[in-house]
Amino acid sequence: MLVTGGAGFIGANFVHYTLNHKPEFEVTVIDKLTYAGNPDNLKSILDRVNFVTGDICDRELMDKLVAETDIVVHFAAESHNDNSLRNPWPFVETNIIGTYNILEAVRKHDKRLHHISTDEVFGDLELDDPNRFTEETPYNPSSPYSSTKAGSDHLVRAWIRSFGIKATISNCSNNYGPYQHIEKFIPRQITNILSDIKPKLYGTGEQVRDWIHVDDHNSAVHLIIEKGKLGDTYIIGADNDHVNNKAVIELICELMGKGADWYEHVNDRPGHDMRYAMNSTKLRTELGWQPQYTDQGGMREGLQATIDWYSENDEWWQAEKAKVEAKYAEQGQ
């Protein structure tokens, strides 16, 4: 198995999950090791994987690596919305050109591909809209990040239809858990409190994300690889679409021994999507998937496990903390 972006947050957790639950796989990881890719994410298992420092935009390298594997699980992407607003080009390069290189190598060597995507390709829903995104929801991306991910999804579907490659796609809601970069919403708040800094809430905090623990996401990916219908797309979501950012930050404060209102409001993100909600009925009914961190306390249990990890692994994040907060301070966030 070749895992692209396997030193990033979700990819690294996928590699750990694979080694722990699917030991039949020999895993190769390729990662460019940008700010989001951290070799420390794989430090404890480096002796069990073949690690390649490289760029998926390197066509010759991808051709070589794909030729030597059976299945490609494609996590590699530029993925931070705020960064895409400051400089869109790396998102176009990695998410579009990089995916193209992988598709051409998969086509040439007749390999299996699973492409990881996001709920953000669908745009957002109104706060009072009872609907959820499904596999048939039209795309309506709103940022350079989400539009380039939408483009990569369209490329995969075109290569399936035009060239008959063996591929599946999954669109997942917002992940949280170990190894997530501290610029992201949940780990930023956790590490703020651990650093005795008040958490920061964008705007009024009414935005809703269908949060899913990264282990639940990755269990779904493996199920799709094993049982999914080639050519199909699967929505992955944990039914946490009733919890807004304000409620999440207040729960984090509570779990970490602070008052529920121990946070500050900061400037909202430009073009901030309001609500994401995922309908994972197809995944649950056709493939039998169930998340471990379910509703009825799932966010509480998942957040507590995440808080515990950041508390116990402060050496993983402390060196970056001041720099991340300084960058946000410049933007009034």
- Kindly report which listed range (14-18, 237-241, 284-288) carries the lowest average pLDDT score: 237-241
Q: What is the pLDDT of residues 242-277, one digit of tens each?
A: 889 999 999 999 999 999 999 999 988 777 778 888
For the cut 80, the answer to whether the pLDDT of residue 89 exceeds it is: yes
279/126 Cα distance (integer angstroms): 16
Cα distance from N-terminal residue to C-terminal residue, the chain? 40
Task: Say what the pLDDT of residue 267 is.
Answer: 85
Residue 308: Cβ within 10 Å count = 13
Distances 99 to 51, 56, 87, 111, 232 between C-alpha atoms, Å:
20, 7, 19, 14, 18
Q: What is the pLDDT of residues 102-118, one digit of tens each?
A: 999 999 999 999 999 99
CA angle 122, 300, 190 (to 5 degrees): 80
pLDDT band at 142 (very low <50, low <70, confident <90, very high): confident
Task: Say what the pLDDT of residue 111 is.
Answer: 98
- The residue ranges of every structural domain in the chain are 2-242+277-320
92/148 Cα distance (integer angstroms): 6
pTM above 0.75, yes or no: yes
Q: CATH for 2-242+277-320, among 1.10.10.10, 3.40.1190.20, 3.40.50.720, 3.30.1280.10?
A: 3.40.50.720
211/248 Cα distance (integer angstroms): 10
224/169 Cα distance (integer angstroms): 9
289/227 Cα distance (integer angstroms): 11
Task: Say what the pLDDT of residue 35 is.
Answer: 78
For the cut 90, the answer to whether the pLDDT of residue 286 exceeds it is: yes
Closest to 131 measured CA to CA, from 279, 239, 244? 279
Residue 177 is given by DSSP the state S
Render 12-44 in DSSP notation, one character per residue: HHHHHHHHHH-TT---EEEE---TT--GGGGGG
Question: Cα 89 from chain centroid?
Answer: 20
Residue 139 is given by DSSP the state P
Q: Give the residue numbers marked as catalytic.
A: 119-120, 145
Residue with tokens 């507590």: 304
